[in-house]
Amino acid sequence: MIKGLYEAHLPVSNLAKSIEFYEKLELKIAYRSARVTFFWIEEGKSWLGLWESDTVKTPYHPALRHVAFHVSLEDIQKAKGWLTEKGIEVVTSFEDFTPERQPLVLDNNPQAHAAIYFKDPDGNSLELIAPLRLNFEERFEMMSLEEWNASNR
């Protein structure tokens, strides 16, 4: 029955400024009105709704104000440079994973995913994520993607 996630929504304080930011991420507008804009993540399959609101400053929690975009392993390897070229700063995640140590590999045992984190103009948490392996028996600790690549050659 369920085929995937079709939409996610984020609050924004300035829709025009947010549209500019998400267009930098090369997302295409699917629908636009005075209070909401939807961007295609994958046309016809998933989109992101940005809602202009006065109540944007909800405290951050991973269950609120966070969206992870699926990317290929090849793209995650280039993600830091791609974001930097667009003037988007990579942010520290999980205490020890400063921008210099990203992309990182999340220890979602028995899964492994490479990820890099950044924020939109309203501080919404954004992530680029690529699956590395699924349902694998060996456990591991979180590490940088550079460390992962060195240990898994």
What separation in angstroms does the CA of 78 have from each of 55, 83, 114, 128, 151?
34, 9, 12, 11, 19
User: What is the three-class DSSP state of 121?
Assistant: coil
Is residue 64 pLDDT above 90, yes or no?
A: no
Q: Are residues 82 and 139 in the same domain?
A: yes
What domain range is 69 assigned to? 64-153
Q: Are residues 140 and 97 in the same domain?
A: yes
Q: Are residues 115 and 152 in the same domain?
A: yes
pLDDT number for residue 2: 65
Is residue 69 pLDDT above 60, yes or no?
A: yes
Beta bridge partners of 46: 42
Torsion angles phi and psi, residue 34, rounded to 5: -65, -35
* Structural tokens at position 44: 């016809």
Is residue 74 pLDDT above 70, yes or no?
A: yes
First-residue to last-residue Cα distance in the chain:
38
State the CATH number of the domain containing residue 8: 3.10.180.10
Q: Is 95 in contact with 116 (CB distance < 8 Å)?
A: no
Q: Are residues 73 and 139 in the same domain?
A: yes
Is residue 137 pLDDT above 80, yes or no?
A: no
Of the listed ranges 60-69, 74-83, 107-116, 140-149, the one predicted with least confidence: 60-69
